[in-house]
Amino acid sequence: MALIPPFFIDCVAAIGTGNSESERRWVASGFLYGDRLPDGANKAREYQVYLVTNRHVLMGMECAQLRFNPIDNKNAREFSLDLIDDAGKPMWFTHPDTRIDLAVAPIHFDLLQERGMQVAYFENDHHGATIEMLKQAGVTEGDFAYVLGFPMGLVGGHRNTVIVRSGTLARIRDVLAGANTTFLVDAFVFPGNSGGPVVLKPEALAIEGTSAQVMPYLIGVVQAYVPYEDIAVSLQTGRPRIVFEENAGLAAVLPVDFIEETIAARCVPQIQMSVARRDLREDMADD
């Protein structure tokens, strides 16, 4: 019995740094997100596909390494995504509010398919749930969620293997009321989880007066774990000497609305929206 559609796993990408395989470090997570375009003459549903992650993940990078699995059982392959154009301008963009730690980069999804990668993307009009949708569905604290990503750089061996952790919505009413920018999930996340998707777990049962959540939805983007700080104070001076920081077991999550706002507010002259093939290129030769 699957509670997460298998293709949701195929939407998730490991993000790495380093110009060679020996230098590679897998530092974060991201996922592919499709923004539906206006219907064309043939009325076919078409999407502009983006890589979504955190701003702090891409900040300072000129090129990001992405890792995907082939459709067959061969080894995972690595692709380079250029983030700076020839004129030195960024080819990715962020939310207009600098407090929102979100980054979006256009990606050549067709090239990944042509190369035989087992990839998919969240369709914003089918798989994403905005704050308004969550309110209408009666989502509240105690509902279950999944966190997908690559904590501590654990991307797997020969194959890309997404790690799925379960948790509960620990605090979300403030976000639903527009009083905060992140909600909290009671789930352990670690460095490497940043930028990964959070999915609402479907439930067949509900108590009287509430409705069951029967669909899995993308509801947010992992920003970071919430730290707990313990301060050691000098007995002689009474001043703080050492601060110990621990993972509190809570994850701060940005709602899907900020992805939509980031895409809507993109600076078109600065961003190359039609991503050339040179901007996403495979680093690993064919087996």
How many domains, the chain? 1
Confidence of residue 286 (pLDDT cuts 50, 70, 90): very low
pLDDT at 3: 85
Each residue's pLDDT tens digit, 248-263: 999 999 999 999 999 9
Each residue's pLDDT tens digit, 137-156: 999 999 999 999 999 999 99
Q: Would residue 1 count as lying in a domain? A: no
Q: Would residue 32 count as lying in a domain? A: yes
Confidence of residue 16 (pLDDT cuts 50, 70, 90): very high
What integer is the mean pLDDT of 151-177?
Answer: 95
Domain containing 25 equals 6-282
In angstroms, rounded to a whole number, what is the distance separating the alpha carbons of residues 203 and 48? 31
Q: Would residue 287 count as lying in a domain? A: no
Q: 233 or 275, which is more confident?
A: 233
Contact call for residues 189 and 251 (beta carbons, < 8 A): yes
Residue listed under structure tokens 């998707």: 197
Q: Which two tokens stand for residue 42?
A: 């043939």
Q: Would residue 162 count as lying in a domain? A: yes
How many CA atoms within 13 Å lie on the side-chain side of 266?
21
Indicate the SS3 state at residue 133: helix
What integer is the mean pLDDT of 66-82?
Answer: 94
Domain containing residue 129: CATH number: 2.40.10.120
pLDDT at 270: 36
